[in-house]
Amino acid sequence: SGSENPAVAKEATLESKDNLSKKIALEVARRRTFGIISHPDAGKTTLTEKLLLFSGAIQLAGTVKARKSARHATSDWMDIEKQRGISVASSVMQFEYRDHIINLLDTPGHQDFSEDTYRVLTAVDTALMVIDAARGVEAQTIKLLEVCRMRNTPILTFMNKLDRETRDSLELLDEVETVLKIRCTPITWPIGMGKNFRGVYHLLNDEVMLFAPGNEKADQAFEVIKGIDNPRLTEMFPLEMEQLKMEVELVKGASNPFVLEEFLAGTLTPVFFGSAINNFGVREVLNALLDWAQPPLGRNATVREVQPTEPAFSGFVFKIQANMDPAHRDRIAFLRVCSGRFERGMRLKHLRLNREIKVSSVVTFMASSREQVEEAYAGDIIGLPNHGNMQIGDSFSEGEALQFTGIPYFAPEIFRSVRIRNPLKVKQLHKGLQQLGEEGAVQVFKPVLGSDLILGAVGVLQFEVVASRLMNEYGVDAVFEGTSISSARWITAEDKRILSDFEKSLAHNVAYDAAGNLTYLATSGVNLRLTEERWPKLKFHATREHS
Ligand code: GDP
């Protein structure tokens, strides 16, 4: 046998190593990990459902939708808790299409909007921006795009609801360019809209895809007619075709050509028009994701950049979700794989705690259900059961000491002061908030003056969740009150003496966050600007890295 002959054994190991490298390279190359960014009601849920249809992951339209309405029927805590099991399954969806493995990460919106929404975007490689073509660019899209920009994430754009009366298409592109500051390159162009929506013209392929309503099938075949000058088209839609030719002329002259490198650099977005509910134009976006968007790339860590095809496993936690199963009070840490191959039963090093863990019950997220994962590669998300010792931003490896960077905390936008009805429970309150803060459920600030703690969030549901969890898990009945704080900034300075001057002078507005960072709590935008002007040697940060 091989073990008796060292040379043969060595060759066998080399060969299997070589095979593993090849296998990893192949698996990485066919992966795409993306998230959808949109303002509520633009059509994210509908589009998600259609995308899943293409993979055969769900048979009937309506599945994702049903989950969504169940989830939003009420924000009562018991219901939130009950529905967690459902929402977690839909927070990461993996499906196959054209021999690719696609990971779609949900970016919670609506009342679920929270810091998770932002942080999920640090775990995706591409974003699909969905815009309601009747409404144009809306507030939440602006915020989410800003977050994408921090990592220059490539953006695909889908202009939705062309089966309705929409805004003028050129005007929409102009709005995206001026408000979101990203250049547009239309790939398809709509022919008419609303009742007169005829289809889309593919500018690169010079073909018209005719619109037909209907939505139940994935492989819905829309008729395609080649050539903008095709007499059949002119015959069918004389008015619309004339208009289309004029617009195409304009668009070709005025807009940017598609340049792959610019898309990959996040400075140019390919734009597709369609109607999610009719599954029209959806396949084109999915194909663009496979053809143009990149597989997982290298990721920065403290010591070096980690390549996805490296044989050793590594990854980082970007989200922690609690109480998915109320009976077990378990938490799941969502980890993005950055390199190597994950296999069940593997030993991993939890780098912050410098502790080895054996992960036997890891979950993956197939579109239809929560399943046990057998193996995972860069770009995939795995769920590690977590008994309260994992934090957002934690890195895991097979032993190498590397800490992935770029997992930010965002300055909260809404604030509450918190106190307890029963002063004897103050210890429990602090413990609870400490843990919830580490999980990333909410940010906790301890003002330099006064005894009330300040909680900061980006979505109001975060407070609701924290209040209920304090009650259920720590037995603390907390009272949340409004505050006069309107924004927070982390403060740093080269000269430490200035920091203490600052802390003394503005003690009423200075606090420490859970990780011990000095923070300025501003009462208004004007107040923040004035303070920044008065303290030119200080830096005011709207984000901070995990530490
Ligand atoms: P989300 O909040 O972004 O997830 O949006 P949804 O997918 O729930 O869609 C919001 C509403 O817009 C729902 O009533 C959808 O049925 C509707 N909708 C989505 N796509 C289309 C579309 O292409 N055309 C029309 N007319 N309505 C759409």
CA distances to 340, 364, 495 from 37, rounded to whole Å, are 29, 22, 40
pLDDT at 82 over 80: no
Residue nearest to atom 14 of ligand 1 (CA): 41
User: Where does ligand 1 bind, in terms of residues with CB under 6 Å?
Assistant: 38, 40-46, 160-161, 163-164, 275-278
Tell me how far apart the alpha carbons of residues 95 and 127 are, in angstroms, rounded to a whole number: 17
Kind of pairing, strands 155-160 and 539-541? unpaired
Separation of alpha carbons 311 and 25, rounded Å: 9
The H or E element containing residue 171 is: helix 169-179
User: What's the mean pLDDT when you consider all of the chain?
Assistant: 87
pTM: 0.86
- Quote the Cα angle for 170-172-177, to 5°: 95
17 class by beta-carbon count within 10 Å (0-12 exposed, 13-18 middle, 19+ buried): exposed
> How would residue 80 be classed by pLDDT, with cut points 50, 70 and 90?
very low
Q: Please, which residues have CB within 8 angstroms of residue 331's CB and are 6 or more apart in sequence?
A: 320, 321, 322, 323, 324, 385, 386, 387, 388, 390, 439
* pLDDT tens sequence across 438-474: 888 899 999 999 888 999 998 888 898 899 889 888 8
> 70 pLDDT exceeds 50?
no
ipTM for the predicted complex comes to: 0.99
The pLDDT value recorded for residue 422 is 87
Phi and psi (nearest 5°) for 473? Answer: -100, -25
Q: Whose CA is nearest to atom 6 of ligand 1?
A: 43
Atom number of ligand 1 nearest to Cα 48 = 7
Q: Rounded to the nearest whole angstrom, what is the distance from the C-alpha of residue 58 to the centroid of ligand 1?
A: 18
Residue 135 in contact with residue 107, Cβ under 8 Å? Answer: no
Burial of 495 (0-12, 13-18, 19+ CB in 10 A): exposed
Mean predicted confidence (pLDDT) in 498-526: 94
Binding-site residues for GTP, in ranges, read 38-45, 106-110, 160-163
**Ligand 1 atom closest to residue 49's alpha carbon, by position in its atom list:** 7
For the stretch 368-411, pLDDT in tens is 544 556 789 999 999 888 766 888 889 999 999 999 988 888 89
For helices 77-89 and 63-72, angle between their N-to-C axes, nearest 10 degrees: 160
